[in-house]
Amino acid sequence: MNVLVINGPNLNLLGIREPDLYGKQDYAALVALVEETCAQEGLGVEVYQSNHEGDIVDKIQAALGKFDGIVINPAAYTHTSVAILDALKAVALPAVEVHISDVSKREEFRQVSYARLACIKTYMGLGLEGYRQAILYLKDYLTK
Ligand code: DQA
């Protein structure tokens, strides 16, 4: 069982970027947490990050036939991208949405999530732990 973890713009700057919101752990720590979790759960994983909307769409499309599910933090594209929503719908792989911060308690423009419309579950406000929860949820979903 293979999982694709996708991170959108500016998540490569974790640790530097607004640490009060996103924590002090860097992107390498996120990748390590995801890889460790998947190894423990017997899952194959690829962790992908891009600052470019079209590249994320391409990655979702290429997941078809290679991955069984997707964990996605579309970052700012969460609130703007119909293209990412459509790509998730097109491949129809089970997808779980993650946000490090609790977007429900932030600005009005963050209250919209297009990607969520194609996701089976959302974790927000749990820090990097949200990725672990998302992977466990996806494994459970794929196993049932
Ligand atoms: C985020 C929340 C988004 O609103 C923001 O644009 C991000 C990160 C999060 O993980 O909390 O870049 O997705």
Q: How far is the CA of 58 from the centre of ligand 1 (A)?
A: 21
pLDDT of residue 126: 98
DSSP-assigned beta bridge partners for residue 5: 47, 71
pTM for this one?
0.98
pLDDT of residue 110: 98
pLDDT of residue 32: 98
Residue numbers of the chain with a pLDDT score lower than 70: none
Mutation pick for ligand 1 pocket among 103, 104, 109, 116 (CB with most ligand atoms within 8 Å)? 103
pLDDT of residue 26: 98
Q: Among 1, 4, 2, 8, which Cα is nearest to 83's?
A: 8
Active site (annotated) includes residue 79: no
Supply the residue whose CA is at minimum distance from atom 1 of ligand 1: 75
- CB-CB contact of 76 with 100 (8 Å): no
Supply the residue whose CA is at minimum distance from atom 7 of ligand 1: 75
pLDDT of residue 88: 98
| Helices and strands (H, E) in the chain, number of each type | 5, 5
pLDDT of residue 49: 98
Can you tell me which residue has the tokens 């700012």?
Answer: 76
- CA 21, CA 17: separation in Å to the nearest integer? 8
Angle at 9 (CA atoms; ends 35, 90), nearest 5 degrees: 80
**Per-position DSSP letters for 6-47, written without gaps between them:** EE-TTGGGTTTS-HHHH-S--HHHHHHHHHHHHHHHT-EEEE
